Amino acid sequence: MGLEIQVQVNGKNYQSEIEPRLLLVHYLREVLGLTGTHVGCETSLCGACTVLVDGRAVKSCTMLAVQADGSEITTIEGLTATPEAAGGLHPVQEGFWEKHGLQCGYCTPGMILSAVQLLRDNPSPTEAEIRHAIAGNLCRCTGYQHIVEAVEYAAKKLRSRKR
Amino acid sequence: MIPAAFEYFAPKNLDEALRLVERHGDEAKLLAGGHSLLPLMKLRLSAPRYVIDIGRIRALHGVREEDGRLVIGALTTHHDVESSELVRQRCLLLAEAAAEIGDVQVRNRGTVGGSLAHADPAADYPAAMLALEAEIVATSSGGSRAIPAGEFFVDLLTTQLRPDEILTEVRVPVAGRRSGGAYRKLHQPASGFALVGVAARVRLGEGEKIESVAIGMTGVAAHAYRAATAEQALAGKKPGAKLLGEAAGRVTEGVDTLGDMHGSAGYRRAVATVYARRALEAAIARAGGKTA
Ligand SMILES: Cc1cc2nc3c(=O)[nH]c(=O)nc-3n(C[C@H](O)[C@H](O)[C@H](O)COP(=O)(O)OP(=O)(O)OC[C@H]3O[C@@H](n4cnc5c(N)ncnc54)[C@H](O)[C@@H]3O)c2cc1C
Ligand code: FES
Ligand code: FES
């Protein structure tokens, strides 16, 4: 039985008929073909599937696509089109590049979206605040230090622009 | 990890939702933030025939102050509670408990009503609501009833709610002067849930004596409870290190303590004592006008 939903993903409107039990992460990956959002644990613990729903970081494996009906969603693919990106990479993406914030890259899309929410809420986070903000995102490679530095890099860049 | 098929409803207002629960009762599950229900459905530990998504009922969102109480709508997210200026000012304990739940993403979706209705033995809000002597409001098409938090939690994952009822709001009395509260928690590092969580609320009276005290415990037993013997040990006395230590040592007295792969019953009892003392110290300091 199909239900109709309308969502805006990365600025583009979509209308789809879906099964109610379809998870948001599968909708994004399999129906819309946006495979930048990863599936890690499937059990709500790793944060690899994190996307922004109406501006808030959400584990898309723990939300039904029908719950997102009427929402605006941002995935990793849409970050270069956000105002912060100013035509290039988003400063958080740039930070991960410059500070070596990834190794295998599996956790990276989710990690970046959690960091984007953090910097919108709190433009000058302390190291402890950064670590707290990514507590729902697990990384098996980096040991987190370079991720923290990547977020600090982005915070600095975003602040310098505002001046 | 895909839920079994179900029929989905998304009522836009409470009346519509109440009619649906009345009709489908036992075969239906309400869906709020989905952060307890969807993991269970993905594991097929829960396979409801009907899912009633109450997330779109605007009236159940948000916090307001009314007649000396904070009224918190069932669908208010943990993030909204944690970041509400009103909650921080009127009831720091509650904001503190919300901030300790899971991680950022969980707090963005999970709701007060869902947490209380689910009644996980390691959830944080139950301890807070017990210490705050909150009332939990359950509504059916027949009307509403206010259930004292002290009577709400019945057993493991079991509350006073009937299948035809929706938890609509929580009413938290705002403490007067010379009162303070605090929540202290030991996280289970993988899930974030409480190995032990202690909510303490204290009012100081004449001669700096403890005029009233309430202690809510979570993570320790099949359901959250008030540590009554510890409260009795404190009532009417002037707080000092020795008294607090003694009282904190009694928070698991007479309680059938949980033991599992994350911590034995003995370990939980030991840790409960430590966190109870810390919560009480912070609550007393705040009641005396100090920051803690
Ligand atoms: C990774 C992870 C970590 C977590 N860590 C913690 C933690 O540290 N501390 C903690 O306390 N919790 C934790 N949680 C649980 C989280 O707080 C849940 O959000 C909460 O327990 C349930 O709220 P919900 O809105 O998501 O409810 P749902 O999952 O939507 O519903 C839960 C249950 O309550 C029922 N229900 C929901 N709303 C109502 C209502 N208004 N009236 C009647 N019945 C209702 C549903 O039918 C269902 O049976 C964690 C969850 C996850 C996934
Ligand atoms: S895949 Fe969603 S939290 Fe791990
Ligand atoms: S870079 Fe490999 S999991 Fe984080």
ipTM given for this complex: 0.97
Among A55, A78, A101, which residue terminates a domain? A78
Residue A50 to residue B2, Cβ atoms within 8 A:
no
Report which ligand 3 atom has the smallest distance to the Cα of A141: 2
CB of A106 within 6 A of ligand 3: the answer is yes
Q: Could you tell me the distance, in angstroms and rounded to a whole number, from the CA of residue A52 to the centre of ligand 3?
A: 20
Query: Which two structure tokens, joined as six digits, stand for A157?
Result: 């860049």
Whether residue A87 is found in the same domain as residue A144: yes
Q: How far is CA B153 from CA B189, B226, B252, B253, B276, in A?
A: 25, 11, 17, 19, 20
Return the pLDDT at B40.
Answer: 97
Q: Could you tell me the distance, in angstroms and rounded to a whole number, from the CA of residue B136 to the centre of ligand 1?
A: 16
Report which ligand 2 atom has the smallest distance to the Cα of B105: 3
Cite the beta strand spans of chain B per DSSP E. Answer: 7-9, 28-31, 50-53, 63-66, 69-73, 135-140, 143-148, 153-155, 158-159, 166-173, 179-187, 194-204, 210-218, 225-226
Q: What is the pTM of this model?
A: 0.97
* Closest residue, chain B, to A60 (C-alpha): B105
What is the pLDDT of chain A when averaged over all its residues? Answer: 97
User: Alpha-carbon distance B241 to B281, whole Å?
Assistant: 9
Number of Cβ within 10 Å of residue B266's Cβ equals 10
Q: What is the CATH number of the domain that holds A134?
A: 1.10.150.120
Whether residue A110 is found in the same domain as residue A73: no
Number of Cβ within 10 Å of residue B61's Cβ equals 16
Buried b (16+ CB within 10 A) or exposed e, A39-51: bbebebbbbbbbb
Half-sphere exposure of B78 (CA within 13 A, CB side): 25
Residue B108 to residue A133, Cβ atoms within 8 A:
no
* Burial category of B292 from C-beta neighbours within 10 Å (exposed 0-12, middle 13-18, buried 19 and up): middle
Task: For residue A94, give how far its alpha carbon lies from the nearest alpha carbon of chain B (Å).
Answer: 23
A-B CB pairs within 8 A amount to 81
Q: Which of the listed residues A49, A99, A103 should we mutate to test ligand 3's pocket, taking the one with most ligand atoms within 8 A of CB?
A: A103
* Closest residue, chain B, to A24 (C-alpha): B2
Mean pLDDT of A9-25: 98
Query: Which two structure tokens, joined as six digits, stand for B119?
Result: 């009644």
* Dihedral sign computed on CA atoms, order A124, A130, A134, A139: positive
Backbone angles phi, psi at B81, to 5 degrees: -70, -45
Whether residue A156 is found in the same domain as residue A84: yes
What is the pLDDT of chain B when averaged over all its residues? Answer: 96
Whether residue A124 is found in the same domain as residue A137: yes
Q: Which range marks the domain in which residue A34 is found?
A: 3-78
Whether residue A72 is found in the same domain as residue A9: yes
Q: Which of the listed residues A26, A28, A37, A42 should we mutate to test ligand 2's pocket, taking the one with most ligand atoms within 8 A of CB?
A: A42
pLDDT over threshold 80, residue A163: no
Q: Which of the listed residues B26, B31, B37, B145 should we mutate to test ligand 1's pocket, taking the one with most ligand atoms within 8 A of CB?
A: B37
Task: For residue B212, give how far its alpha carbon lies from the nearest alpha carbon of chain A (Å).
Answer: 35
Strand-pair category, B194-204 with B210-218:
antiparallel
Mean pLDDT of A121-139: 97
User: Alpha-carbon distance A78 to B52, whole Å?
Assistant: 32
Whether residue A38 is found in the same domain as residue A73: yes
What is the percentage of chain B residues whose pLDDT exceeds 70?
100
Q: Report all structural domains of chain B as residue ranges with CATH numbers, in order of start.
A: 7-53 (3.30.43.10), 58-173 (3.30.465.10), 180-287 (3.30.390.50)
Q: What is the CATH number of the domain that holds A53?
A: 3.10.20.30
Determine the distance from the C-alpha atom of residue B170 to the mean position of all C-alpha atoms in its chain, rounded to a whole number: 10
Return the pLDDT at A1.
Answer: 60
What is the percentage of chain A residues whose pLDDT exceeds 90?
96
Among A78, A103, A118, which residue terminates a domain? A78
Return the pLDDT at B14.
Answer: 98
Closest CA to B134 of B206, B197, B226, B218: B226
Return the pLDDT at B191.
Answer: 86
* Closest residue, chain B, to A57 (C-alpha): B105
Closest CA to A60 of A76, A48, A77: A48
Residues B220, B242 contacting (CB under 8 angstroms): no
Determine the distance from the C-alpha atom of residue B146 to the mean position of all C-alpha atoms in its chain, rounded to a whole number: 16
* Closest residue, chain B, to A19 (C-alpha): B5
Give the one of A1, A132, A136 whose C-beta lies nearest to B105's C-beta: A136
CB of A41 within 6 A of ligand 2: the answer is yes
pLDDT over threshold 80, residue A88: yes
Reported as type and span, the H/E element at residue A4 is strand A3-9
| Predicted confidence (pLDDT) per residue in B4-50, tens digit | 999 999 999 999 999 999 999 889 999 999 999 999 999 999 999 99
Q: Which residues 6+ apart lie within 8 Å of B18 measured at CB? A: B139, B140, B141, B164, B166
Whether residue A140 is found in the same domain as residue A99: yes
In chain A, the number of structural domains is 2
Q: Could you tell me the distance, in angstroms and rounded to a whole number, from the CA of residue A48 to the centre of ligand 3?
A: 9
Q: pLDDT truncated to tens, each residue of chain B (292 aa)?
A: 899 999 999 999 999 999 999 999 889 999 999 999 999 999 999 999 999 999 999 999 999 999 999 999 999 999 999 999 999 999 999 999 999 999 999 999 999 999 999 999 999 999 999 999 999 999 999 999 999 999 999 999 999 999 999 999 999 999 889 999 999 999 998 889 999 999 999 999 999 999 999 999 999 999 999 999 999 999 999 999 999 999 999 999 999 999 999 999 999 999 999 999 999 999 999 999 888 8
